[in-house]
Amino acid sequence: MRVYLEMIKFEHSIFALPFAMIGMMWASLAQSGSPWPGFAPFGLIVLAMVSCRSAAMAYNRIADRDIDAMNSRTQSRAIPAGLLKLRQVNLFLFISIGLFITAAALLNPLSLALSPVALAVTLIYSRTKRFTPFCHLWLGLSLGIAPAAAWIAVTGSLSPVILPLVGAVIGWTAGFDIIYSLQDEKFDESNHLRSMPETMGGARALSISRGLHVAAIALLIVAGQMAGVGVWFAVGVGFAALLLTYEQSLVRPNDLSRVNLAFFTLNGLVAVGLFVFSLLDALARRAA
């Protein structure tokens, strides 16, 4: 079990799941005046999120197994290290897809109809690095659809209200993924793989990352205005802005010693922090 959880980087669920919960709360407030849609929708949303992400990570490990074997940073991953056989990972992939489609079917017809689209977005990401430096934005879209999917899961329809939050998650994710990809700039160049650092160089890629994070904060402000949030969400956006500013200060093209702090720790705090402040805001709006 440890090997499977490590393979899919289960702890990285902390990036997308909080935004799905925000989408769920906002949808429930819009529909019923309460941020809690009930145990059944909540459980199915969590199952859909975790299974879809698990499928995407398993497919990524399958698609990249030869590349991972050549990169010293990734040689210890389950398939190149021989910890899991390819057929075991394929079985895990198919089970995850089955759970995701089942959860979507149990939510509502629109969730089921759009489930192949969500799968396509999340699975295709693994191939984008072969042909475009905009792969970071595709990863952003993979995470960004989480709040919209949760909105659809609760209401059975899609509203423009949730779209700025989708854009914010895309910008935030693409920004931190560019930082993470700085580690593989030389490897990508040598193996004909695409990324912003490989195409633009480390310094310009970092500038793009910073611009994406500025855009993400701006879109969070717009999202809050469209959703009619209160002061607690505004505090959360300020908290996220401070963390992203600190994150950007930690990394230089010639100094990647604090990439893990910048990538995982701080972005985990951004996601969880925004969820906590969104929950406080939702509870305050319900009380009012």
> pLDDT tens string for the chain (288 positions)?
889 988 988 877 889 999 999 999 999 999 999 999 999 999 999 999 999 999 999 999 999 999 999 999 999 999 999 999 999 999 999 999 999 999 999 999 999 999 999 999 999 999 999 999 999 999 999 999 999 999 999 999 999 999 999 999 999 999 999 999 999 999 999 999 999 999 999 999 999 999 999 999 999 999 999 999 999 999 999 999 999 999 999 998 888 888 887 888 899 999 999 999 999 999 998 887
CATH classification of 2-287 is 1.20.1730.10, yes or no? no
The pLDDT value given to residue 254: 84
Distance of CA 38 to the CA centre of its chain: 24
Please provide residue 252's backbone torsions phi and psi, each rounded to the nearest 5 degrees: -130, 155
> Residue 7: which residues within 8 A CB-CB, separation 6 or more?
57, 58, 61, 77, 78, 84, 89, 92
The pLDDT value given to residue 237: 98
Whether 140 and 171 have beta carbons less than 8 Å apart is answered as yes
Structure tokens at 164: 């700025």
C-alpha 238/C-alpha 174 separation (Å) is 20
**Closest to 56 in 3D by CA, of 103, 17, 89:** 89
Burial 232-261 (b: 16+ CB within 10 A, else e): bbbebbebbbebbeebbebbeeeebeebee
Q: C-alpha distances in angstroms, 211 versus 222, 255, 258?
A: 17, 20, 20
The pTM (predicted TM-score) of the whole model is 0.95
Half-sphere exposure of 156 (CA within 13 A, CB side): 6
The pLDDT value given to residue 5: 86
